[in-house]
Structures are given as C-alpha cells and as structure tokens.
Amino acid sequence: MTTATSVVASYPATWPSSPAFRRRFYAVVRALIAGFAAVYWRLDVDGAERLPSTGAFILAPVHRSNIDTPIMATLTRRYMRYLGKEEMWKYGWSAWLWDTLGAFPVRRDTVDRDAMRKCRLALEAGEPLVVYAEGTRRATPVVENLYDGAAHLALRTGAPIFPVGIGGTTRAMPKGAKLFRPVKVSVVVGEAIVPDVSEPGRTPSRRAVKELTERLTAELQAVYDEARLRAGD
C-alpha cells in the first residue's frame, strides 16, 4: 500500500509552498468557503469570539460530515492546522492542496506518533490546531469513546481546548452523499477547557489524560446538542 509520506513527496518541488504563499492561499479559500456557507447553508455561529487572536489552541469539533472541516475554517481568520486521514494525500495534487492548507496526514489504524509530533510542534509554535477527538465520522447524536489525542496534546503543551458542536451537516452532506444540500447549519463554540499543566513539555499521566478526555466528552455533547437544536436537526 502506498503510504501518505511517499505520496506527499511525489508532487513537484517547484510548486509554490512558501509560508507566505500558504497563508495567502488559505485566506482566499477560507473567504470562498465562508461566503458559500453563509448563503447556501445559512451558517449560524455562536461563540467564535471565544477563540484567541494569538497563541495556540485546539479546536475539538464533533465529526458527522465531510463538510465539517471547511466549516471549521470559517470560525477564525487565523491560519489553522488540521489532521486528515492519509487517504486524502492519495494524489500529488491533493497532497499539495492539503499541505498548503495546513493539514498533515494521520494513520487511523494505529497510534501515529509522527502525526502527534507534528501536532505538538504546531501548538508549541503558537498555531491553532483542529483535532477530531472522535477519530472519524460517526452517525449518532451521542458523543462517546473519544480518542485521547486532544487531551494529551493539551496537557503536553498547555493549549486550551474548545469543544465545537456542529448541527445540520448530517443533512447538508450525509455519509456517502456526493452533493451538498441547502439546509441550515449551526455551530456552537464552547468555553475553553484549560488544562492543568504545571510543567509544559512533560508527558502527562494516563489519569490526567483520562480525566480531561471525560470532561471534553461531556462538554462536547452539550455544545453538540445545542448546535443540533439551533439547526433543527
């Protein structure tokens, strides 16, 4: 099987990839998404003002649709980093696109230490990071069995976690659908979950990670329920 690493390396090195270009490209794509979402999905966002204008933070949204990621880009004008399944890097052009938009691949069938290292470095550099704690798209209204990556990163770096509920995307583009549907989409950004970190950089204890993951589960469920209600799910 072709790995994400080998695929990413296949696109031409001469294609623009400087940090300045990436941010300009991201800003254009983000503006297009925001405009489309406002008109087509009547996007309603509550709580985006809670997101810091500087410094690292972790966005931890629910995941029910392929459009969840572009919706996340509308919450802040800042250049954000994203974890994406390695299959998204299958082609040279897609590898370049996701790289340029701030994403990096993760293997979902194992503990991907390289992806976690990249996440940690991004946060330590003061960059916002989007992490789907559910790991993959799910089909139920219940938030449960979260992976502990978001909690581990927060405790390792001191970055706050913002739980994000997204309502309406299961109708806007359900799993398996090829086209978007013009339905109401609502997003609710919860209060910051600030990790108790006395010494950033140290590997957190399993107990601390478990407790923070349990707190994230509860708060993510609350904002998801609110977002679904606002969207009429």
Q: Residue 15 is part of which domain span?
A: 4-231
Residue 4 has pLDDT above 50, yes or no: no
What is the domain-level CATH number for residue 77?
3.40.1130.10
Residue 1 has pLDDT above 60, yes or no: no
Could you report the per-residue pLDDT of 67-106, keeping only the tens digit for each?
A: 999 999 999 999 999 988 888 888 778 888 888 898 888 8
- Map residue 48 onto helix, strand or coil: helix
Two tokens, residue 5: 């690493």
Tally: H helices and E strands in the chain: 8, 7
Q: Total domain count for the chain?
A: 1
Residue 225 has pLDDT above 90, yes or no: yes
The model carries a pTM of: 0.89
| Closest to 43 in 3D by CA, of 189, 141, 160 | 189
Report d(CA 183, CA 40) in Å as an integer: 7
pLDDT band at 7 (very low <50, low <70, confident <90, very high): very low
Residue 198 has pLDDT above 80, yes or no: no
Mean pLDDT, residues 139-163: 95
